[in-house]
Amino acid sequence: MLLSIGDRVREGTYCVHSRFDRAVNFVRGGRLVSVVSAEIGAGPANLVVAGSARDFCGAAPRLIIRRGSVTLSDRRHVIRRTPVYRSDLARDEVPGRRFARNFKSLEKWVPQFSNPWNFLLLLDPHAAPGPDLLSRQFARRIRAGAKDMLDGLNNPRRLARGSRLLAGCGFGLTPGGDDFLAGAMMALHLAGNLTNTDYSRAIATIHAAARTRHRLSAHFLGLARDGFVAEPMKNLIGALLHGSAREVRSCGRRVLALGETSGADLTAGFVLMLKSLPATLRGRRQNSGSRGVNPRGASMLLPPCRLDRQEAEFWPPWGEPTGNLKTKARK
């Protein structure tokens, strides 16, 4: 059964790229659609299914998305009434003390999930790299990269150098460094929305430095550049702005549970980048180079991600999303 469909899913015939228990990835040129189980949750290009994604897809080599239907092998699923997940980050109120307090709590909490092979190592003052040379070199490289990137927010050359050191660095199908950079770009989008500051140049620099031929990484980095985020991250942001410390941890756990180390790497990039933007955490508005509308005018409380049939907003996946505040604001 299909539970939800992401707003960045587009019509077409996709070929299988990789299969895991909780996610099966299909690609078409530079586009990607992931069939995922509910534990992973909704995302810009995710089809969320009940039960195991691998079982749902079976051995199907292709995924065909047409107006109103999704076909896997000979099984056709009607999606006319399937809720659509909106993945854009809406503008929000200028953050207050709650945001700063919640962020501090998140920053203090996440390092416990660090290990010698994920990027949370950068947030853990007590972390030691693994005993082998490879782990030590990995730690050295990500520390150097992160320092350059975060110190170089106002220095494009340094920002690019740091991003290049991190891009593609790490283990697994999507290297942890790419997840880290995606998290950093999401943080810049959030900070930009909250403080009405334009970080588009920094985002573009990071994205350009992270250019890769790896289709999955390229896709995720592209979505992060454009400010489209998955449900667990959107919920975490909502909890940081409006929830309690407990809710932050609860939502944080769901982000950390993404992939094998992807969630941890994404969180590391998000937290470290936000930490390097103290003005956002203080709730002050920066004026340098800002553009766009008055955030009060476009203010919208970031809604929790609702995917109930009755409440979910639906538009066909082949059409352009409506009501995207960011698009409106830039016109």
Positions in the binding site for another protein (CB under 8 A):
18-21, 37-39, 50-52, 54-56, 58-59, 109, 112-113, 115, 117, 126, 132-134, 137-138, 140-141, 164-173, 175-177, 212-215, 217, 249, 253-254, 256-264
CB of 125 to another protein, least distance (A): 12
The Cα 25–Cα 145 span in angstroms is 29
CB of 151 to another protein, least distance (A): 19
CB of 61 to another protein, least distance (A): 13
With both helix axes pointing from N to C terminus, report the angle between 176-195 and 133-151 in degrees, rounded to the nearest 10: 20
What is the DSSP secondary structure assignment for residue 37, as one 8-state letter?
Answer: E
Q: Tell me whether residue 56 or residue 199 sits nearer to another protein (CB atom).
A: 56
Q: Tell me whether residue 55 or residue 151 sits nearer to another protein (CB atom).
A: 55
Placement of tokens 């909780």 in the chain: 22
User: 86 in helix, strand or coil?
Assistant: coil
Q: Tell me whether residue 212 or residue 299 sits nearer to another protein (CB atom).
A: 212
Q: Tell me whether residue 171 or residue 318 sits nearer to another protein (CB atom).
A: 171
Residue 173 exposure: Cα atoms within 13 Å on the Cβ side: 14
Tokens, residue 237: 């942001």
The Cα 315–Cα 313 span in angstroms is 7
Q: Tell me whether residue 257 or residue 329 sits nearer to another protein (CB atom).
A: 257
Placement of tokens 């107006």 in the chain: 67
Kind of pairing, strands 84-85 and 69-72? unpaired
Tokens, residue 284: 């002050």
Q: Tell me whether residue 258 or residue 277 sits nearer to another protein (CB atom).
A: 258
CB of 118 to another protein, least distance (A): 8
Tokens, residue 309: 């049939």
CB of 176 to another protein, least distance (A): 7
Q: Tell me whether residue 239 or residue 264 sits nearer to another protein (CB atom).
A: 264
Residue 123 exposure: Cα atoms within 13 Å on the Cβ side: 29
Q: Tell me whether residue 83 or residue 192 sits nearer to another protein (CB atom).
A: 83
Backbone angles phi, psi at 41, to 5 degrees: 90, 180
CB of 110 to another protein, least distance (A): 10
CB of 94 to another protein, least distance (A): 30
| Sign of the Cα pseudo-torsion (81, 12, 10, 306, in order) | positive
CB of 267 to another protein, least distance (A): 9
Say which residues have a Cβ less than 8 Å from residue 278's Cβ, sequence separation at least 6: none
What is the DSSP secondary structure assignment for residue 170, as one 8-state letter?
Answer: S
> What single letter denotes the amino acid at residue 272?
L
Asked if 216 and 206 touch (Cβ cutoff 8 Å), the reply is: no
